[in-house]
Structure 1
Amino acid sequence: MLNLHSQPRATAQPQSPRKPLAATITALLAALTLSSAVGISGHAWAQGAPQSVTEKRTDVVQLASGYRASKLSGADVYNRNKDTIGTLDDLIVSPGTERTTYAILSVGGFLGMGKHLVAVPFNDLQIDNRRIVLPEATKKSLEALPEFKYAPG
């Protein structure tokens, strides 16, 4: 059995003052806190209340049978009389809190020259068997709409 009291005592070594060590540790902790708040890229991260994420369940099986924007782009758009009245050029989600989706239609022109772009609410379109229909529209009624121009950039 080991008797701790019978071991020789170490001679007292002069110790460095603890105040500089405490100051160094405090400075290191402050630097680490600052670097984690700023991040590697140099951008400050938000501090304060935690961010909440609102989840909404989505039926992914049903969603998978939907229409992909990339597949709709370039598709002909018809009216109720099955007349071709334009092509779907793009889909744009408006900025702001409403985030309304608009279909950008190309009307008129030939081989991309002289085309007139117009924006119509996506909800006005009917999609059935990959056929896009804007029931009440005509080429003339679409050409009468204000011309849509993409923002630079």
Structure 2
Amino acid sequence: MKIKTIRPIFVTQFPAVFEQGVLYISEEFETAGHLCCCGCGGKVITSLNPARWNLRKEGGTVSLSPSIGNWNYACKSHYFITKNKVVEAGQFDAKKITAVQRRDRRDMEHYVAVVNARAGQTPEKAPVPTAKKTPEKSLMYEVVAFLKKLWKT
């Protein structure tokens, strides 16, 4: 790992250009972002929710869990951020990466089901996406609007 420590900065919106060694944290948007700690320059965005990553603040330090696996980058880096320290984790082969991605997908599906159930949207009551759905109500529209707001300079 090129980067051994990371400095947390709490922001409302991410800057247009990330600085190496800085973990930008938007509590409002439950998202954190940083440049890959291997030094490749890849932008890493972590969604802060029980199905993805948890952020723990301790004094002036932060920890993200579980580990960060940049499987979609050429570097395939894998590390932990613990109390502002970057700790390299072992490399994963393709089989392990696939298993982690499958588990992550399952975790997210479970999280969405729990959130929908709390909102009173049982599977039979939950909105069913259709081609006729207006863009204002589609999930993709909400994601794009969220990202535009987050990345706005």
Q: TM-score, normalised by structure 2?
A: 0.27
Q: Which has the higher contact order (CA 8 A, sep 6+)?
A: 2
The structure that has the greater radius of gyration is 1
Q: TM-score, normalised by structure 1?
A: 0.27
